Amino acid sequence: MVDVVTGAMASLLPKLEKLLEHKLHRTVKEDAEQLLRELTSLHAALGSGPDPRWADDCRELSYHADDIVDAYLAASEPAACRDGCLGFLDNLLGPRRWFANALKDVKSLALHLSDRYSSTDKDKLVPATAPTGPSPHLRKEAEEPLVGMERGRDTLIKSLAGGQEMKIVSIVGSGGLGKTALANLVFRQLRPQFGSCAFVSVSSMPDMEGIFDQMLRQLNVEKNYNQEAKDAVRDFLQSERYLIIVDDLWRKEDWHILSRSLPVNAFGSRVIVTTRVNDIAKICCSGQDELICEIKHLDHLNSKSLFLRRCFGSEASCPDALAREVGEILAICSGIPSVIITIAELLNSKVATRKPCQDVVHAFCSAWKEMASSLHSARERIPGLEDLIKVLSLSYENLPSTLKTCLLCIATSTTVKYRKFKRGETIRKWIAEGFISEVGWRSSEEVANECFDDLVGSKVIQPV
């Protein structure tokens, strides 16, 4: 076992060194550097005959980290760049937000393994230069409740409860609303109740074989010679009580492939799917609406609570003089948690060291004025914004060409504050501009109404 773990970690360390050669955001680079130090220490400790269970956890950590680093390095190669608008966004915006979050999780696990080893045999572990134990930021991030998502969490857990038949529950919502965060919260809460668990991300352009390989590693299963990974997953789960998270699913074709490896058994197994597409959510749940958990935009009170806690540490710490600026920010954020957090944490970096109230107000107003005036050109200068834009842009890139045209028509013709528009007027404009025409026996009005419903279902426009 130790030889296997040592080999897995030995192959990972050079990849991390290669990763550090890339142009990374400062916090991502710091996490990668600390992870490299921790893994180097763990690798050295493996040669001293450690506890088998600890070594097994090191192996799982190595496999998980290897998957993440491989995905980033592959996406960074020139051959991986795609043509058109999406290729341009790939080059301009850099790694997706999931990479930074995944790297933080791996680093936290590595620190935890270091602590476990140190507590049982302090002399054998080569000390890392970084302090052991999760950083205060990581602890806060792990312990902080999901603002405004308590009802969604309770609904999801209720849907999963009861019965020994296999259940599939979908979480659906537009980009940036916290579907993955909610799924991860429930996954961590329910994991002890299941014998076998895995959390995989699919994305809009998935490597299905790689996803099944990742599932096998998380399930701690070795496939037989000449056996396909998807068959090995299905054969293993057949007699298991399992919990599987399928995150960021876009296409029904990918679900059909995945679902064949998720056997229907009578052991109380559960599957949670996250998606931005209503039709995908329904397909996964076989049309059972009660098994669909829709994540909505945060209301004003929860948006304000999240922003103030992320920016000032608590709601009470925000000076009353900033009420107007906070209101402007919340209007722009439109109840999207990822947008709220990105802007709040940027402004926090400007006001965190200020003590007198007047200094906080001045620093906040100056920073917000600068950001508001240059938001459209600041994607390379604002930490986290470039990744956020990429997350949100995926919803547009995965639309059919007709729907893209209709959405662009809305975007270019809507000048009303907060981008509100009327359905009837919009449909008539599509038809008048020639974007929509009759299809077979269906009138242009029927086709246009269907297109409008598809845009709502794809979560790129929101009914109010």
What's the Rg (C-alpha) of the chain? Answer: 24
157 in the same domain as 286: yes
In a domain, 48, yes or no: yes
**Residue indicated by tokens 């850099």:** 94
**Percent of the chain scored above 70 by pLDDT?**
69
In a domain, 462, yes or no: no
In a domain, 464, yes or no: no
In a domain, 394, yes or no: no
Q: For residue 278, give the CATH number of its domain.
A: 3.40.50.300
With cut-offs at 50, 70 and 90, classify the pLDDT of residue 403. Answer: confident
Asked if 116 and 125 touch (Cβ cutoff 8 Å), the reply is no
138 in the same domain as 173: no
306 in the same domain as 329: yes
Number of folded domains that form the chain: 4
In a domain, 463, yes or no: no
For residue 229, which amino acid is it? A
In a domain, 61, yes or no: yes
Question: Which residue, of 240, 263, 296, is where some domain finishes?
Answer: 296
Structure tokens at 28: 């991502």
Global confidence as pTM: 0.55
* Backbone region of residue 209 per phi and psi (left: phi > 0; alpha: psi in -120 to 50; beta: other values): alpha
Angle ∠(440,445,449) on CA atoms, nearest 5: 105
263 in the same domain as 158: yes
With cut-offs at 50, 70 and 90, classify the pLDDT of residue 259. Answer: very high
What per-residue confidence (pLDDT) applies to 88? 37
Mean pLDDT of the chain: 73
Q: What is the pLDDT of residues 41-79, one digit of tens each?
A: 776 666 555 566 777 777 777 777 777 776 666 655 544
- Selection from 17-31, 197-211, 350-364, 409-423 with the highest mean pLDDT: 197-211
- Which residues on adjacent β-strands are paired with residue 439? 442
Asked if 284 and 252 touch (Cβ cutoff 8 Å), the reply is no
260 in the same domain as 209: yes
244 in the same domain as 127: no
333 in the same domain as 202: no
292 in the same domain as 427: no
Angle ∠(311,89,75) on CA atoms, nearest 5: 95
What per-residue confidence (pLDDT) applies to 85? 38
What per-residue confidence (pLDDT) applies to 359? 62
Check pLDDT > 90 for residue 271.
yes
Report d(CA 176, CA 181) in Å as an integer. 10
For residues 405-426, average pLDDT: 70
338 in the same domain as 223: no
Q: Which domain holds residue 352?
A: 300-388
For residues 181-204, average pLDDT: 85
311 in the same domain as 342: yes
Tell me which of 117-131, 172-186, 285-299 is least confident: 117-131
**Percent of the chain scored above 90 by pLDDT?**
8
- Which residues on adjacent β-strands are paired with residue 274? 171
**Residue indicated by tokens 């994607």:** 379
24 in the same domain as 90: yes
Reduced to 3 states (helix: H, G, I; strand: E, B; else coil), residue 272 is strand
312 in the same domain as 271: no
Tell me which of 36-45, 113-122, 358-367, 449-458 is least confident: 113-122
